Chains A and B, each alone.
Chain A
């Protein structure tokens, strides 16, 4: 099962021929396999993890312990600040996942620092949706998708199956270049 998920992620990432957003939906049991699949197939592209589900360091440590190379991954961590957890140099900490503008501006900051196109992983739509209403999420996703395209970036939006409303689903289908249902 886990190899199947990682294979499908690999195959989807090998075939990426667009700039913009790919929406990946999956069952909760596949969470780590999805992330492993993405991180193992980033092909040297500078990578940014926008985390609202769990503290980025915990996530990276877990992936590391599973044998996935997480070297050089930058993070925009929207969860550790509220927990007042430890700080790590590679991360930008946002006080709250409800201040979506800071997420967008932090991504721009990393873009200016790296000077190259990025792979941006958003973990996850559901986690951000907990803190933001539909209107805010629509505006956020719209700006993010266009910003990724303009900058020549590829974004991967993670979301858990069967947890989005029809309204959310329609919006994400409209903004995504590709949808991968696992």
Chain B
């Protein structure tokens, strides 16, 4: 069970993850989950919602993936969650964001805030952070992310935001960054995770091996080999 370590931090409930984040995630914060396709970003963020729902913290899954039914059906099934999504503490909000401008995004953020309030959500997953958002002019992107940050913080919602785009504005504005990779070892590939930023936490900077399973994310120390 995830421990609540004071008002400022929430435990994710994912075994091992809170150790490397320095205790958990900043409550009401925006946490960016970065990495290439297939590195496990969606599964990690989804487990964050599922673990929360298990302990009575409602979650909201915001996605621009379409069709949303197909996306939901392809999420990893965890042995510790019964029932479908949406349902049992997790609501789903499809997000249509093709060709949106800054006003469109500000409207969407307002809608997300209202829906999350109605659902009583304290955890959120945004998958993916829309590419068109990251293509806004920098000053507009700053405005939108500040707006999202305000909505999340004022409602006590901690959000994991999934992206494969390393945008310097987003990287500097978010409260935490977890970077996932697929490390190639002479043809054998190992997933890894590194906490690159977690505001206010004394977090690890080391990379850890990561395995995705129906029992949840499993982490291990990386084993270093001698230099050839």
Contacts and interface: CB of A to CB of B under 8 A. Distances in A.
Interface string B104-142: 000000000000000000000000000000000000000
Contact of B218 (A108, A132, A139): A108
B220 A136 contact: no
B81 to A, nearest CB: 14
Contact of A113 (B215, B224, B225): B215
B224 A101 contact: no
Given A135-B224, A136-B223, A143-B220, A105 B185 contact: no
Contacts of A108: 218, 220
Contacts of B216: 112
A98 B213 CA distance: 21
B223 A109 contact: no
B209 interface: yes
A106 B223 contact: no
Contacts of A96: 188
Contacts of A100: 223
Interface string A92-130: 000110111110111011001100000000000000000
A167 B220 CA distance: 25
B224 A109 contact: no
Contacts of B211: 102, 105-106, 109
Nearest to A138: B223
A140 B220 CA distance: 11
Contact of B223 (A95, A101, A112, A134): A101
Contact of B190 (A102, A112, A143): A102
A71 interface: no
A162 interface: no
A133 interface: yes
Interface string B185-228: 11010100000000000000000011101011011111111100
B215 A101 contact: no
Nearest to A109: B213
A105 B209 contact: yes
27 contacts: A98-B186, A98-B188, A99-B185, A99-B190, A101-B221, A101-B222, A102-B209, A102-B211, A104-B209, A104-B220, A105-B209, A105-B210, A105-B211, A105-B220, A109-B215, A112-B215, A112-B218, A113-B79, A113-B215, A132-B225, A133-B226, A135-B226, A136-B226, A139-B221, A139-B224, A140-B223, A143-B220
Interface of B: 79, 185-186, 188, 190, 209-211, 213, 215-216, 218-226
A-B CB proximity, top 10 nearest? A101-B209, A105-B211, A112-B215, A105-B218, A139-B223, A133-B226, A104-B220, A101-B220, A96-B188, A99-B188
